[in-house]
């Protein structure tokens, strides 16, 4: 059974009697809890009201009843007040919340759901937390012969274990456990020298966390979405395009670009089918190695010689209309609402097995 057929099979019997508890942070709805003084606000991790409404409508179009929460504490209070309710077994938590600061902020809801045996979309609390620490999962992947990009960690005490990149290597520096391109700017790309330490110190002090430094790969950037049941199933690899070109060369999705969404998508298999197939295999190995659950995404950069390197993963990737998931579902001639039904049905039926 191919991926499209598997998704269609999930959609044949929608469990419309379950109730979705939809937890998401939304601009002008969520109380902002950003405790760091940085110009790259966590607002890029929130959904606009339009984006949120797109997803809410899509979930409801499948026939699900939806209860909405804009703040994590509201959801927690709701469960505490209903923990003896007979309807608890019919809840599925659709979690997209990531408010606040710190490595494990996305793990709050998955961890809480584990305590109350509530099925929650996305990976469990541990994998969610691991998926935010770019250096840790990179080290795990490289140890298992998976093609993750060369990486180093810059800490408050300097280079971890005294290991630093070679001089003159082209690098990119990012805060270790941020997402939505926070801390990623044009100046994040540089050739390493002793002068680079000032940039790294500034980034460390601004975000108050270690800085991951990776070899910068010029070329294509490709996102590979996954649907994960008993085994990972990979959707079509999706190339990022800027100014209608999939070959980004030295371009990256900076904080400003992520905020404006001035980039598009293209099917990477139409650019290079052979490498596209290799990315599928590597994404499957990655999901299995890290124990990703339900759905996720693996991101690559590909150089001019066809060498590919994993640069990032996401355990709760964006599902808005402007996303790799939405692009691929449209390419498969599936509806936008099918993304949410697929994820919800996987989550609900997995809980029934246990």
Q: Could you read off the pLDDT of 264-304 as tens digits, one per residue? A: 999 999 999 999 999 999 999 999 999 999 999 999 999 99
| pLDDT higher than threshold 70 for residue 351 | no
Contact 200, 158 (CB under 8 A): no
Contact 92, 344 (CB under 8 A): yes
| pLDDT higher than threshold 80 for residue 89 | no
Mean pLDDT within 22-42: 80
Instruction: Please give the Cα distance from 32 to 107 (Å, whole number).
Output: 17
Instruction: Please give the Cα distance from 152 to 165 (Å, whole number).
Output: 7
Q: Could you read off the pLDDT of 179-216 as tens digits, one per residue? A: 878 889 999 999 999 999 999 999 999 999 999 999 99
Mean pLDDT within 219-229: 97
Q: What is the mean pLDDT of the chain?
A: 93
Q: Residue 13 has what DSSP assignment?
A: S
The reported pLDDT for the residue numbered 167 is: 97
Q: Could you read off the pLDDT of 323-349 as tens digits, one per residue? A: 999 999 999 999 999 999 999 999 998
Q: Could you read off the pLDDT of 41-83 as tens digits, one per residue? A: 677 789 999 999 999 999 999 999 999 999 999 999 999 998 7
CA distances from 164 to 161, 191, 212, 250 (A): 9, 13, 11, 22
- The SS3 call for residue 316 is coil
The separation between CA 232 and the C-alpha centre of its own chain, rounded to angstroms, equals 16
Q: Could you read off the pLDDT of 126-184 as tens digits, one per residue? A: 999 999 999 999 999 999 999 999 999 999 999 999 999 999 999 999 999 988 788 89
Binned at pLDDT 50, 70 and 90, residue 225 comes out as very high
| pLDDT higher than threshold 50 for residue 354 | no
Q: Residue 160 has what DSSP assignment?
A: G
Contact 173, 212 (CB under 8 A): yes
Mean pLDDT within 19-25: 97
Contact 22, 69 (CB under 8 A): yes
The reported pLDDT for the residue numbered 353 is: 47
| pLDDT higher than threshold 90 for residue 235 | yes
Binned at pLDDT 50, 70 and 90, residue 255 comes out as confident
Instruction: Please give the Cα distance from 342 to 329 (Å, whole number).
Output: 11
- The pTM for the full model equals 0.94
């Amino acid at each position: 059974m191919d991926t499209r057929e598997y998704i269609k099979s999930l959609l044949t019997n929608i469990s419309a009697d379950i109730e979705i508890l939809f937890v998401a942070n939304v601009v002008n709805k969520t109380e902002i809890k950003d405790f760091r003084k940085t110009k790259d606000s966590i607002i890029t991790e929130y959904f606009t009201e339009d984006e949120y409404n797109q997803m809410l409508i899509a979930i409801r179009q499948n026939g699900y009843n939806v209860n909405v929460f804009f703040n994590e504490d509201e959801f927690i209070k709701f469960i505490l007040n209903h923990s003896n309710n007979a309807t608890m077994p019919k809840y599925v938590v659709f979690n997209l919340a990531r408010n606040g600061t710190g490595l494990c902020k996305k793990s709050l809801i998955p961890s809480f759901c584990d305590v109350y045996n509530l099925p929650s979309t996305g990976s469990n609390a541990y994998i969610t937390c691991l998926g935010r620490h770019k250096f840790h999962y990179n080290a795990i992947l490289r140890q298992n012969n998976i093609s993750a990009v060369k990486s180093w960690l810059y800490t408050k005490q300097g280079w971890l274990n005294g290991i630093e990149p070679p001089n003159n290597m082209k690098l990119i520096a990012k805060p270790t456990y941020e997402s939505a391109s926070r801390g990623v700017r044009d100046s994040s790309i540089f050739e390493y020298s002793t002068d680079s330490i000032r940039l790294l110190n500034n980034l460390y002090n601004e975000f108050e966390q270690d800085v991951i430094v990776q070899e910068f790969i010029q070329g294509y950037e490709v996102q590979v979405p996954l649907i994960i049941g008993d085994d990972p199933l990979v959707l079509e690899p999706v190339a990022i395009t800027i100014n209608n070109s999939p070959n980004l060369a030295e371009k990256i999705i900076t904080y400003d670009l992520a905020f404006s969404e001035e980039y598009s998508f293209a099917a990477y298999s139409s650019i290079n089918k052979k490498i596209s197939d290799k990315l599928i295999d590597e994404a499957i190995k990655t999901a299995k190695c890290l124990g990703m659950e339900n759905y996720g995404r693996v991101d690559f950069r590909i150089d001019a010689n066809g060498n590919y390197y994993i640069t990032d993963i996401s355990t709760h990737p964006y599902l808005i209309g402007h996303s790799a998931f939405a692009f691929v579902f449209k390419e498969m001639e599936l509806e936008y609402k099918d993304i949410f039904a697929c994820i919800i049905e996987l989550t609900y039926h997995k809980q029934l097995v246990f």
